[in-house]
Amino acid sequence: MSPFDVGASIGAVPGLGRITTLRTRPIDVPLIRPWGPDVLEHHLIEVLVDTESGVIGHGFSWTPSIGAGSVRAMLDRDIHDFVVGRDADARALWAPLWRHLHEAGSGGVTTIAMAGLDLALWDAAGRAAQRPVAELIGARRASVEVYGSGVNRHYSRDELVAQAQRWADAGHSLVKMKVGGRPLAEDRERVAAVRATIGPDVELAIDANQLWTLEEAERAIGELSEFRLCWVEEPLLSDDLLGHAVLRSRVGVPIAMGENLHTAQRFREATELGAADILQPNAIRVGGITPYLEITAEADAAGMPVYPHLLPDLSGQLAMTMARPTPIEDVEDASFERLGILAEPAPLSIDGTLATSRERVGLGIVFA
């Protein structure tokens, strides 16, 4: 399947016409629960695409810490100048735009900026058809399970245990905590405390956020595996696919990665090299819905489980279209609705351990 044939049976939505302009707005979002001493807010770039039909598409780009200014500059100049006057069709535009921008980098700022346009065009298609984007793609379910996640490396042990207790009380069947960046003995105590809090029947994943060397990862996973881990996330630098493959051959715990891979090509390499057991694409970092659908289709063909990374307001809608149902990640108090930055009700209702579609037209993500 060609990368841009995903969803081709839908056909171009008639009546949108050409893109007449692209507008952006920066939105700084204070976090209810800071993600670290230096991560007190997230940064969004709202992207509005005007079409000849009068339909306006609403999209966004996102970065939790740095790079928002660069992303917005690429949208306002390079992307704006390339797409104005072209057909408002996300699938037709993605490949030529990526080739046009490739000199500035194949991923990172490039794909994060492209995501803002891609989401806006999918949203416009949904609005023109008066249907949710998930229905345009091909929804397979109306709800998905949610797993409890925390950016909690900076939490004290007591704070961490309190969070784990909230997850247990909510009834999550899977939770995830941070490790790394401290002596292994401390990580061991923290993982043991969370396991004791959630009990033996809840699945527990750990996320090292690229902080270990190969030798450190092998030792740490060996020691922490006694707490019955369902996966270890990003144990090594994300670019080190060969290192992940070597580590995977040496440990008995599944390896998850992908939040910092930016192109379908890199996901394909990760699969072919045997670098991971679980893939975790972030729909913004890979460049939007168009490449995300390619990545998940290829993962499904290869028998690879996909767990979408962050952004439950968006990831939940995409998870409803995936062949294999897997839980979406809900970092405590970090959804757009919980952060209070939406002008309209969120596209999903997250109630405890379940995210259910509200059947909003388009993507249903409109910022205040």
What is the H or E stretch that residue 351 is in? strand 348-351
In this structure, how many other beta carbons lie within 10 angstroms of the beta carbon of residue 333?
Answer: 11
**The predicted structure's pLDDT at residue 63:** 94
Burial class of residue 365 (count of CB atoms within 10 Å of its CB; 0-12, 13-18, 19+): buried
Go through the domains of the chain in sequence order and give each one's CATH number. 8-130 (3.30.390.10), 135-357 (3.20.20.120)
**The predicted structure's pLDDT at residue 5:** 44
Distance between CA 345 and CA 323 in Å, rounded?
A: 27
One of 58, 172, 262, 309 is an active-site residue; which one?
Answer: 309
In the block, tokens 């535009």 appear at: 93
Distance between CA 214 and CA 195 in Å, rounded?
A: 25
One of 43, 176, 178, 244 is an active-site residue; which one?
Answer: 178
**The predicted structure's pLDDT at residue 13:** 56
Q: State the 10-residue block means of pLDDT for the chain, 368 residues long.
A: 40 76 97 93 97 97 94 98 97 97 95 98 97 96 95 96 96 97 97 98 98 98 97 97 98 97 96 97 98 96 95 96 93 94 96 94 97
**The predicted structure's pLDDT at residue 359:** 94
**The predicted structure's pLDDT at residue 322:** 93
Pure H helices in 25-108: 68-74, 80-83, 90-101
Distance between CA 177 and CA 205 in Å, rounded?
A: 7
| 309 catalytically annotated | yes
**The predicted structure's pLDDT at residue 62:** 95
Q: What are the CA-CA distances from residue 230 to residues 63, 155, 255, 327 (Å)? A: 27, 22, 9, 13
3 state SS of 148: strand
What's the pTM?
Answer: 0.94
**The predicted structure's pLDDT at residue 229:** 98
Name 266's Cβ contacts closer than 8 Å, sequence gap at least 6.
Answer: 107, 241
Contact call for residues 57 and 18 (beta carbons, < 8 A):
no
**The predicted structure's pLDDT at residue 327:** 94
**The predicted structure's pLDDT at residue 14:** 61
Distance between CA 47 and CA 70 in Å, rounded?
A: 14
- The token pair that represents 12 in the structure block: 């171009």
Distance between CA 286 and CA 204 in Å, rounded?
A: 26
Name 301's Cβ contacts closer than 8 Å, sequence gap at least 6.
Answer: none
* Angle, in degrees to the nearest 10, between helices 312-319 and 289-301: 50
Burial class of residue 54 (count of CB atoms within 10 Å of its CB; 0-12, 13-18, 19+): exposed
In DSSP terms, 19 is beta-bridged to: 51
Quick one: DSSP state of residue 76?
Answer: I
